[in-house]
Structure 1
Amino acid sequence: MKAFLIGLFLGILAIPVVIFCYFHLGHPPVAVADSPFPMEKQIVRAPLQARIHAEMPKSAPIEASGTNLEAGAHIYRQQCAACHGLYGRPSSFAAHMYPHAPQLWAPHGNGTVGVSDDPPGETYWKVANGIRLTGMPAFDKVLNPTQMWQVSLLLANADKPLPSSALDLLKQPLDLDTVNLAPPTANVPPQKITDLNAMPSPLPPDQQ
């Protein structure tokens, strides 16, 4: 019995040592092309979904009017399209990210387009808070709540007929050299960025 207990203790003690050696001396999957850990997606998805459903707004404070959908399309082009694609125009590098950036205007599964089967409040939470280690940033310091709702409602209606003004914006090809990198509230025209140090900051002066 004593030998069993000693073996059990040493076995338990060895687990963190093996894990430490694996991460520091082995080859854990850190590159995009690496195979994921077993059950990685399921392990990460469970706490993420629990957090989102506990905190997401249950209803939108604005309606999906033509004006709001068009505003959402403008913001989407500026802030989201580079990774998440446009109508009929998938992102050129999204498939080479890990995890892949979902293409929000592409049908999948049972014909659902993008995240149109998610409640708008869930999309709002993701836009506002971002998701760690996915490349999805938090926009709550870049966009105001109305703008985040406008984008969220646009995406919730991706599988429905959209106003022609919004659809036209989503069909225009994206020129990454002329994307407006300033927040929409700045109301400045698109400009070509040739110097990263000259890139306009999305933060107000008192937070830069």
Structure 2
Amino acid sequence: MRNLLAGIALGVALVLAAALLFLTQGGMPVATRGGPLPLERFLASRALHHAMGRDARRPAPIPADGPNLVAGAKVYSANCQVCHGAPGEAQPSPIARGMFPRPPSLLAPGHGVADDPVGETYWKVKHGIRLTGMPGFEETLSEEELWQVSLLLREAEHLPGPVRAALR
């Protein structure tokens, strides 16, 4: 029994030592051109899902009406467009091309977060997403602005003309 426990302890120590060597000797991709490690995308997705918890299902306290969507368009243009692009842009910005993971195009049909619950988008805008380049705007935008831009993104595939004009 003692030999079995010693073998398990030695095995765990060897795995930890190998992981330490991998991380400290340049094995981990740290440049923006490096791809994700095995299981990285899965683990990050699960961690994000659990961090958002019930907040992801939170309804917006303001309506998705014209004035709020126009205000959300102004917030988006000033804070989000440089990474996530404008409507009709074929290429990501130079900043977005240099990021890993590459920021998604949020206003392109079928590519945004329009199918996500508005509370989930609100959480991401407010808190950001660690190790992705997505900043949190909790300290720079008001609660109303956070909700306005979140509603804009939820409605991105069906924006009225005045809102589209505000995004240009």
Instruction: Answer whether TM exceeds 0.5 for this pair.
Output: yes
Give 1:151's aligned residue: 149
User: Which residue number corresponds to residue 180 of structure 1?
Assistant: none
Distance across 1 between alignment mates of 2:18 and 2:32 = 24
Q: Name the amino acid aligned to 1:82.
A: V
1:33 is aligned to 33
Listed one character per residue, the Cα deviations across residues 58-95 of structure 1 (whole Å, up to 9, x for unaligned) are 21111011111111111110000000000011432323
Quick one: distance in 2 between partners of 1:67 and 1:3? 72
Given that 2:112 and 2:156 are in contact with CA atoms closer than 8 Å, whether structure 1 keeps it comes out as yes
- Find the counterpart in structure 2 of residue 97 from structure 1: 99
Match of 1:123 in 2: 121
When residues 3 and 113 of structure 1 are mapped into structure 2, their CA distance, relative to the original with a 3 A threshold, is closer
- Percent identity for Structure 1 against Structure 2: 42
After TM superposition, the structure 1 = structure 2 runs for residues 1-16 of structure 1, keeping only pairs within 5 Å, are 3-16=3-16
Give the 3-state SS of the residue equivalent to 2:64 in structure 1: coil
User: Could you give the per-residue CA deviations for residues 163-192 of structure 1, whole angstroms, max 9, x where no partner exists?
Assistant: 32210122x2xxxxxxxxxxxxxxxxxxxx
- RMSD of aligned C-alpha atoms? 1.7
The residue that corresponds to 2:161 in the other structure is 164
Q: Indicate the residue corresponding to 1:53 in structure 2.
A: 53
User: C-alpha distance in 2, partners of 1:37/1:142?
Assistant: 33
How far the C-alpha of 1:158 sits from its partner, in A, is 0.7
Q: Say whether the 8 Å CA contact 2:57–2:117 is kept in structure 1.
A: no
Q: Secondary structure at the match of 1:128?
A: helix
Residue 17 (structure 1) shift: 1.3
Q: How many residues are paired up?
A: 166
With normalisation by structure 2, the TM-score equals 0.90
**Residues 1:16 and 1:117: Cα distance change in structure 2 (over 3 Å):** same
Provide the C-alpha distance between the structure 2 equivalents of 1:169 and 1:67, rounded to a whole number of angstroms: 11
Determine if contact 1:124/1:148 at 8 Å carries over to the other structure.
yes
Deviation (angstroms), 1:2:
5.5
Contact 2:104 2:111 in 1 (8 A): no
User: For residues 140 and 92 of structure 2, what CA distance do their matches in structure 1 show?
Assistant: 22
Q: Which residue of 2 aligns with 1:65?
A: 65
Cα gap change, 1:10 to 1:139, in 2 (>3 Å): same
Higher relative contact order (CA 8 A, sep 6+): 2
Looking at structure 2, the residues matched to 51 and 20 of structure 1 have their Cα atoms a distance apart, in angstroms, of 27
Per-residue CA shift, 1:113-133, capped at 9, x if unaligned? 410000111110111111111
Q: What's the CA shift for 1:151?
A: 0.4
Decide which structure has greater helix share: 2
Structure of higher CA gyration radius: 1
Q: Name structure 2 gaps, 5 residues minimum.
A: none
Give 1:167's aligned amino acid: R
